[in-house]
């Protein structure tokens, strides 16, 4: 019998902590806050929309009070936006490969429809208060920040001033930039390394899986025809009940210990071989990332610091600034609503407002 099965979930963190006091494996140190990307700043909307952050946080408090699951949807939306052609709101455009018009979406990439509606509603509230000065990509980044904080995670300030892109992400670009849940650690380190993320960043960002749900099809390859040997037997037995066939349409929580709380229990799951995806569990199997997982499992403060640093890095990937792109009047479509018209040919009204 696997050792993990002997311990009730609630006793495991203490057990691991005691175990680690006798080993000297903690190597991860305090993370630096990444500098703002050129064109972004912490005071970007100070005069043009001082109410921005309070409007977003107040609305999301209401949204999460009735359904905390939406926090996970918003966090994942920001991740998909940033990884595919930069944080430019491209994921929000109708026609984008992962939504909101989902016809083209690879099934394993589907984002929550409600996340798009929440962002568009926030845009409406913000633009009603301040005019069309705040981009959909900034709103998405702030919503993800508040999703983490309002789920019990760390708070952090975000450099702002992103502009919205004019082209949506194609299916190919989406698939090429988002690693699949079947990826091993080598694939993750390579893929995220190309975007400038260190192994510590990769492990920290994967901690986003401490909240939210997954569809069975994202991991049933680990259940059928036989158990992935790196998966805990009891966890496997339970997942087979939730997902009785390889094509089951059911969903399950990703962090079984505290599915709706942004804490470090995801790493405790991994140490107990209860990670849902290969891309999660392999972080503990692989010797290059194992000690990072362990250090986050025993020290939540350390996880929070490294998560915040990696999130600020992610939130600044290939951003559009200054006069690039536009400030969309509707997050799901370009202002011109015609992908074949060049940005310079937009009507004067749009151009004036968008040049803030
Ligand atoms: C590193 C590679 C990553 C892979 C392979 C991956 C894969 C996945 C998959 C397959 C799902 C479940 C989709 C479904 O079946 O419904 C998922 C959900 C999720 N992912 Fe990731 N992900 C990765 C990184 C991230 C990052 C960096 C974040 C944010 C920091 C994140 C946040 C989330 C959240 C919050 C959910 C739950 C969404 C919901 O409940 O609607 N993921 N991820
Ligand atoms: C998205 O765009 C397509 C093609 O332009 C259009 O047929 C569809 O109605 C749009 N969807 C929404 C929700 O506007
Ligand atoms: C969270 O951080 C932001 C940005 O620094 C700050 O404006 C806000 O007051 C903080 N919220 C709380 C509740 O601490
Ligand atoms: C997308 O990728 C597929 C397979 O890799 C390739 O056959 C196809 O030509 C690509 N399409 C575009 C538009 O790049
Ligand atoms: C999606 O699932 C298909 C088959 O189920 C798989 O071939 C593909 O790699 C997956 N893609 C992603 C991005 O998860
Ligand atoms: C990781 O996955 C890649 C791509 O599937 C494969 O080529 C490689 O051998 C795997 N590496 C390890 C260490 O399993
Ligand atoms: C979905 O999962 C629940 C348990 O979480 C299970 O009772 C139910 O039978 C499953 N439904 C299907 C269609 O697999
Ligand atoms: C799922 O797979 C089973 C067995 O292969 C098959 O009978 C069933 O039609 C499939 N269901 C769907 C929704 O594809
Ligand atoms: C946990 O990490 C924090 C932040 O790096 C550090 O200050 C603290 O000393 C660590 N705590 C333990 C018990 O190692
Ligand atoms: C935003 O655009 C979508 C089409 O992409 C449309 O369905 C929706 O009604 C528009 N919203 C507003 C407020 O104009």
Task: Please check whether residues 165 and 201 belong to one and the same domain.
Answer: no
CB 164 within 8 A of CB 336: no
Of 183, 163, 201, 147, which is closest to residue 86 (Cα–Cα)?
Answer: 163
In a domain, 292, yes or no: yes
Q: What is residue 263's predicted lDDT score, i.e. its pLDDT?
A: 98
Do 135 and 23 belong together in one domain? no
Q: What is the pLDDT of residue 336?
A: 84
301 and 341, same structural domain? no
Distances (CA, A) of 321 to 86, 308, 312: 12, 22, 16
Q: Are residues 191 and 273 in the same domain?
A: yes
Indicate whether 164 and 129 sit together in one domain.
Answer: yes
46, part of any domain: yes
Instruction: Please tell me whether residues 336 and 311 are part of one structural domain.
Output: no
CA–CA dist 114, 236 (Å, integer): 30
Same-domain status, 49 and 130: yes
| Distant-in-sequence, close-in-space partners of 216: CB < 8 Å, separation ≥ 6 | 242, 243, 247, 248, 249, 250, 251, 252
Which residue(s) pair with 164 in the sheet? 326
| Alpha carbon distance 273, 267 (integer Å) | 10
- 44 with 172, same domain: the answer is yes
The minimum-distance atom of ligand 6 relative to the CA of 182 is: 5
Is residue 303 situated within a structural domain? yes
Angle at 146 between CA 145 and CA 149, to 5 degrees: 95
**Pick from 302, 111, 75, 307: which is nearest to 202 by CA?**
307
Q: Is 127 a catalytic residue?
A: no
- 260 and 224 both lie in a single domain: yes
**How much is the pLDDT for 24?**
38
Please report whether residue 268 resides in a domain. yes
Domain that holds residue 84: 39-178+326-356
Alpha helices in 221-339 (DSSP H): 233-242, 265-271, 278-285, 290-298, 300-314
Binding-site annotation: residue ranges for Ca(2+): 81, 84, 86, 88, 90, 102, 210, 255, 263
Q: How far apart are CA 324 and CA 173, in angstroms?
A: 21
pLDDT of residue 27: 57
Can you give the pLDDT at residue 14? Answer: 39
Ligand 2 atom 6 nearest Cα: 94
Centroid of ligand 7 to alpha carbon of 240 (angstroms): 9
Is-contact 271 284, C-beta < 8 A?
A: yes
| Ligand 1 binding site (Cβ under 6 Å of any ligand atom) | 72-73, 75-76, 79, 108, 112, 179-181, 183, 188, 205-206, 208-209, 211-215, 218, 277, 279
- For residue 219, is it within any domain? yes
Residue 259 counted as domain residue: yes
Task: Tell which one of 215, 221, 245 to mutate to probe ligand 8, the residue whose CB is within 8 A of the most ligand atoms.
Answer: 245
138 shares its domain with 63: yes
Provide CB contacts within 8 A for 320, sequence distance 6+: 86, 88, 137, 162, 163, 164, 165
Ligand 2 pocket, mutate which of 92, 93, 94 (most atoms under 8 A from CB): 94
The ligand with the least distance to the CA atom of 225 is 8
Pocket test for ligand 7, best of 213, 216, 250 (most atoms within 8 A of CB): 250
Other beta carbons within 10 angstroms of residue 181's beta carbon come to 18
Hey, whose CA ends up nearest to atom 10 of ligand 5?
Answer: 180
Catalytic residue among 30, 78, 80, 215: 80
Q: Based on the structure, what is the number of domains in the chain?
A: 2
Q: Is the CB of 110 under 6 A from ligand 2?
A: no
Q: Is the peptide bond before 100 cis (omega within 30 degrees of 0)?
A: yes
Predicted confidence at residue 95, as pLDDT, reads 85
Whether 241 and 343 map to the same domain: the answer is: no
Residue nearest to atom 2 of ligand 8 (CA): 247
The Cα 7–Cα 46 span in angstroms is 51
Is the beta carbon of 308 within 6 A of some atom in ligand 5? no
Q: Is 110 in the pocket of ligand 6 (CB under 6 A)?
A: no
Q: HSE on the CB side for 191, CA within 13 Å? A: 18
> For residue 203, which of 126, 294, 334 has the smallest C-alpha distance?
294
At 72, which CATH number? 1.10.520.10
Instruction: Tell me whether residue 321 is in a domain.
Output: no
Separation of alpha carbons 138 and 354, rounded Å: 14
Would you say residue 1 lies in a domain? Answer: no
pLDDT given for residue 100 in this prediction: 76
- Rg of the chain over Cα atoms, rounded to whole angstroms, equals 21
**Helix or strand or coil: residue 41?**
strand
Rounded to two decimals, what is the model's pTM?
A: 0.88
Residues 98 and 135 in one domain: yes
Helices (H), 28-135: 52-66, 69-83, 113-130
Residues of the chain with pLDDT under 70: 1-29, 102-104, 107-108, 337-356
Q: Which of 263, 168, 249, 160 is nearest to 210 (CA)?
A: 263
């Amino acid at each position: 019998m696997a050792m993990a099965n002997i311990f009730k979930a609630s006793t495991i963190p203490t057990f691991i902590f005691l175990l680690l006091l006798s080993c000297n494996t903690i190597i991860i140190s305090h993370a630096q806050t990444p500098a703002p990307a050129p064109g972004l700043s912490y005071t970007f909307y100070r005069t043009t929309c001082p109410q921005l952050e309070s409007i977003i946080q107040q609305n999301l408090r209401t949204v999460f009070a009735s359904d905390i699951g939406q926090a996970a949807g918003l966090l994942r939306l920001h991740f998909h936006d940033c990884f595919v052609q930069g944080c430019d709101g491209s994921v929000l455009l109708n026609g984008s490969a992962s939504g909101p018009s989902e016809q083209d979406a690879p099934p394993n990439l589907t984002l929550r429809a409600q996340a798009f509606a929440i962002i568009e509603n926030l845009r409406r509230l913000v633009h009603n208060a301040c005019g069309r000065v705040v981009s959909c990509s900034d709103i998405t980044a702030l919503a993800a920040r508040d999703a983490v904080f309002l789920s019990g995670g760390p708070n952090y300030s975000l450099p702002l001033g992103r502009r919205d892109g004019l082209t949506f992400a194609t299916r190919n670009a989406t698939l090429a930039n988002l690693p699949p849940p079947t990826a091993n650690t080598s694939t993750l380190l390579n893929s995220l390394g190309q975007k400038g993320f260190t192994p510590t960043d990769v492990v920290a960002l994967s901690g986003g899986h401490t909240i939210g749900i997954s569809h069975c099809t994202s991991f049933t390859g680990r259940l059928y025809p036989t158990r992935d040997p790196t998966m805990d037997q009891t966890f496997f037995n339970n997942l087979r009940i939730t997902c009785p066939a390889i094509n089951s349409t059911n969903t399950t929580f990703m962090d079984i210990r505290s599915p709706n709380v942004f804490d470090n229990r995801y790493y405790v799951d991994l140490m107990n071989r209860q990670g849902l995806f290969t891309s999660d569990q392999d972080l503990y199997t692989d010797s290059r990332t194992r000690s990072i997982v362990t250090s986050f499992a025993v020290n939540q403060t350390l996880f929070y610091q490294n998560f915040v640093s990696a999130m600020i890095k992610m939130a600044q990937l290939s951003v559009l600034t200054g006069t690039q792109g536009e400030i969309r009047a509707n997050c799901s479509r370009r202002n011109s609503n015609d992908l074949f018209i060049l940005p310079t040919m937009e009507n004067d009204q749009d151009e004036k407002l968008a040049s803030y």
